[in-house]
Amino acid sequence: MSTLVREHYNFAYLDEHTKRMIRRALLKGVAIPGYQVPFASREMPMPYGWGTGGVQVSAACMVPDDRVKVIDQGADDTTNAISIRKFFERTAGVALTERTAEATLIQTRHRIPEHPLSEGQILVYQVPIPEPLRFLEPRETETRKMHALSEYGLMHVKLYEDISQHGEIATSYAYPAEVNGRHVFDPSPIPKFDNPKLDNAPALQLFGAGREQRIYAVPPYTRVRSLDFEDYPFVAARAEHQCALCGALHTYLDEVIIDDEGGRMFVCSDTDYCNERQQANQETGNDAG
C-alpha cells in the first residue's frame, strides 16, 4: 500500500467507529441469516443508487491483501463498477481484478457471477430495497411484525395473483426466497435465474442497503428456498437463446441492440465469464456459432 493512500484516508475510507458499528451489524446478520439488521448508514462520496450500502459493507470487511472485483449487472466496465473499483483502490490500496475466480471480495449490482464461487470468497450485494414485503405493506412497523411472526401469507398471495393473471409467476427480478427455513428475504434485483446460486453456496453473501440502512447476510451452506407452489414450482428462467459471442446455452443473457436498423443479439450478461469462454473457444478452435 502506498503511503499516499494512508496519508489522505483512513483504510477503506470509513472511520474506525463507523466500521465497528457496521461490523457488529454484519456479525448479527450472519448469526440470523436473511434477517435485516438496522445500521446507521454513512454519507459516502457517491450518490445513493450507486451502491453506498454495498460500498460500506465491502469497506468494513476489506483487508489490504484482498483482490476486489466490482460488477454492475454482470459487467466490470460500466461507469458505476469502475468508479467503485477505483474508490477501493484509492482508499484501501487493494488489488483489483475482473476475474471472478481470482477475486477474494466481489461487490455486485444485480447479478451473481456465472463462475461458481468458492469458500474463500465474499460476495457483497448492493441493495436498493431490502424489504421483500415493502410493495405489499409500506409500513415498517407492520413488515417488522410480519417477519417476527413469520406471516408471509401476503407474499404468497402476491405470487399467486401473478399466476392467475399471467399463467405463471411473473416476478422475474428480486424474487423472494426463504432463508434457513425462517426469514423471507429480497436477494436484491438479481434475475430469478440467479436464485438457485444463493442456495447452499460455499461463499459468504452479504447485502447492504445504504438508503434504507439495512444489512443482511446468507452464510455459506445455508438453505435458500425460492418461494413457489406445489402446482407452480419455481423456475430459474433465462432467454431461450445462445450467446452470440461465446455460444453459451446455460448463461443469463442480455439482449443488446447492435445497429441503427434495430438489429439485436443475445450475449452473456457476465462479461468476464463470456471472455473466458471466448478465449477457451479460440484455444480449442471451436466456433462459437
Site for other proteins in 195-234 (CB under 8 A): 202, 204, 217, 219-223
Q: Note the helical H segments in 46-129.
A: 52-61, 79-92
Q: Which is nearer to Zn ion, 62 or 243 (CB)?
A: 243
Smallest distance, other proteins to C-beta of residue 51, A: 20
Judged by CB under 8 A, the residue of 7, 79, 148, 165 near other proteins is 148
Q: Which is nearer to other proteins, 17 or 250 (CB)?
A: 17
Extract the C-alpha cell encoding 53.
Answer: 450500502
Place of cell 442456495: 199
Q: Is the torsion defined by CA of 45, 123, 126, 181 positive or negative?
A: negative
Binding status of residue 26 toward other proteins by CB under 8 A: yes
Q: Is residue 61 among the annotated active site residues?
A: no
Whole-number Å distance between alpha carbons of 182 and 223: 10
Binding status of residue 132 toward other proteins by CB under 8 A: no
Residue 285 region, left (φ>0) first, then alpha (ψ -120 to 50), else beta? left
264 φ, ψ (degrees, to nearest 5): -130, 155
Binding status of residue 28 toward other proteins by CB under 8 A: yes
Q: Among 29-37, 45-53, 165-173, 275-283, which window interacts with other proteins (CB under 8 A)?
A: 29-37
Decide: residue 63, CB within 10 A, 0-12 exposed, 13-18 middle, 19+ buried: exposed
Judged by CB under 8 A, the residue of 60, 159, 169, 209 near other proteins is 60
User: Residue 24 binds which entry of other proteins, Zn ion, none, with Cβ cut-offs from 5 to 8 Å by kind?
Assistant: other proteins
User: Residue 246 binds which entry of Zn ion, other proteins, none, with Cβ cut-offs from 5 to 8 Å by kind?
Assistant: Zn ion
User: Where along the sequence are the contacts to Zn ion (CB under 5 A)?
Assistant: 243, 245-246, 248, 268, 274
DSSP 8-state assignment for residue 1? -
β-bridge pairing 214-218 and 122-126: unpaired
User: Residue 11 binds which entry of other proteins, Zn ion, none, with Cβ cut-offs from 5 to 8 Å by kind?
Assistant: other proteins
Q: Is residue 34 among the annotated active site residues?
A: yes
Cα dihedral 245→246→250→254 (10° resolution): -20
Give every CB contact of residue 72 below 8 A, 6+ residues apart in sequence: 78, 80, 81, 108, 109, 110
Catalytic residue ranges: 34, 243, 246, 268, 274
- Contact residues: other proteins, CB under 8 A: 10-12, 15-17, 19-21, 23-33, 35, 37-38, 60-64, 144-145, 148-149, 180, 182-183, 202, 204, 217, 219-223
